[in-house]
Amino acid sequence: MKKVIIRTDASTNIGSGHVMRCLTIAKNLQKQNINVKFWMKELPGHLINFVEHEGFETINSAEKADLYLIDHYNIDEEWEKAHRLFTNKIVVIDDLANRPHDCDLILDQNSLPNFESRYDGLVPQHCIRLLGPKYLIMRDEFIEARLNLKERNNQAERILVFMGGSDPTEETIKILKALSKSKSSFEHIDIVVGNGNIHKEEIKHICLKQGYEYHCQINYMARLMQRADFSIGAGGSTTWERCYVGLPSSSTIVAENQAFTTIHADDLGAVVNLGWHEKVTVEMYVDLLLKLKNGEVDLNQLSKIGLSLTKTVSPNPWIEEILELLI
């Protein structure tokens, strides 16, 4: 049996996105009878228990494997060269294109003006480049949701709020304050947080008090997105998940790696970019809620562009390329 080790981390600072997309890859590999292990550090807000609950063994040091898959902003060419002692092939998942890699395949699913050339000089000549939104990493639930898209009527009655697993900039708290200050009322509001959110108990209490539906560390995000009319979210990989299922949304930039993709997605008309988190106030969220209620946001257009941008010939085409490396 072939063996793959995934090196990634989650924490209150890093967030949960790296681990969640690696789980998607791991489950696709597992379906091909490949033994997958996660190498993770026990950082504050880690998701080691969650990964184990999903059926994967976790380790805390290097082991021999047929392939290493790395999804980590603090790992570069130096680390990768050193770990060639343990593996024949290396796959890197990246968003930043800000450091050199010693890898055999690089996957960057983001849509940017220069996405086809942004890794020039950063990866070896032999490296396979899987770049752009046609290589989106999508869980089965999202693939199924895209096959069963809901009819949209340009009215926002069901609002979904998810500001990332850890939400270190406390956007969820801001939005809850905006909801309490706003004169706009909505039929249903879903509030989603991750285990890494240090305010999750406070958020849960507010939701219970206000009648909002509270969700923590869930595996049914696509179902919530299918039901929602609009999502207030952060930048990053969940931007593409929302676009993939045709859910109109706003994005607040909460980390450096989200800036270029969020700005570009806004330029394309796929999301409403609210800007950098430190400049996004409670009043700005109140204004967004009012515009949604008054029909001042073209939900149908946002949905249409998001769907077009994330169109692929087949779901998760990257899996075949990774499997080729394991032959």
Q: Which residues are catalytic?
A: 18
Distance, C-alpha 210 to centroid of its chain: 28
Tokens 């696709």, residue?
Answer: 28
Tokens of residue 186, six digits: 């909505």
Beta strands in 102-156 (DSSP E): 105-108, 128-131
Coil, strand, or helix at residue 9? coil
118 known ligand binder: no
Instruction: Report how far apart, in Å, the C-alpha atoms of 92 and of each of 83, 104, 107, 182, 321 are.
Output: 13, 8, 6, 44, 13
The DSSP letter of residue 133 is G
Coil, strand, or helix at residue 72? coil
139 known ligand binder: yes
Could you tell me if 286 and 182 are in contact, meaning their C-beta atoms sit under 8 angstroms apart? Answer: yes
> In angstroms, rounded to a whole number, what is the distance separating the alpha carbons of residues 100 and 97?
8
Could you tell me if 99 and 79 are in contact, meaning their C-beta atoms sit under 8 angstroms apart? Answer: no
Residue positions in the annotated binding site? 139, 241
Residue positions in the annotated binding site for substrate? 139, 241
